Amino acid sequence: MAPIAVGDSLPDGNVSFFDENDELQTVSIHSLAAGKKVVLFGVPGAFTPTCSLKHVPGFIEKAEELKSKGVQEILCISVNDPFVMKAWAKTFPDNKHVKFLADGSGTYTHALGLELDLSEKGLGTRSRRFALLVDNLKVKVTNLEEGGSFTVSSADDILKAL
């Protein structure tokens, strides 16, 4: 499957997260993104070094700036279960705006065409690192990384596109 591209419609699919009341929610991506300008960024794995030290912190630090430019939702997705994503989210106590979404079986990542085979590292099929800017379900920017790179999918890269 070809990776999602500029001009594509964001596919729908279900993801899970724990809400502010610590209740497990399963929702469609469209319910989070329809009628809104959103950033959807994906990481290969919770608690992994680049994801935890650079990618996620950048979006947390730049969240207010992204919001000031019209972004209404900042969504982080990873092929992990919702309990892992909840535990990982708690390691970012300053986070007020990034929602941590679990794509437990990688079904949504597959729908985006953004799988990354990390079996050699014992991680199985995960998500490529990426950042998408989506406006009312239409993809406006696709910043897709190759392998384990972190060169084009940062919060600063999305800010440059706004």
DSSP state, residue 114:
-
Which of 37, 33, 30 minimizes the C-alpha distance to 67? 37
Higher pLDDT: 40 or 120? It is: 40
**Cβ–Cβ under 8 Å, residues 7 and 141:** no
Query: What is the C-alpha end-to-end distance of the chain, expressed in Å?
Result: 28
Residues 77-106: pLDDT tens digits?
A: 999 999 999 999 999 999 999 999 999 999
Q: Which helix (H) or strand (E) holds 142?
A: strand 138-144
What is the per-residue pLDDT for 50? 82
Where in the sequence numbering do the catalytic residues fall? 51
What is the per-residue pLDDT for 124? 61
Residues 19-58: pLDDT tens digits?
A: 989 999 999 999 999 999 999 999 998 898 787 878 999 9
Residues 59-79: pLDDT tens digits?
A: 999 999 999 999 999 999 999
What is the per-residue pLDDT for 147? 77
Report the SS3 class of residue 137: coil
Q: Mean of the pLDDT values across residues 3-29?
A: 96
Cα separation values, 27 from 16, 55, 77, 145, Å: 6, 24, 13, 26
| Burial call 149-159: b when 16+ CB within 10 Å, e when fewer | eeebbbbebbb
Report the SS3 class of residue 55: helix
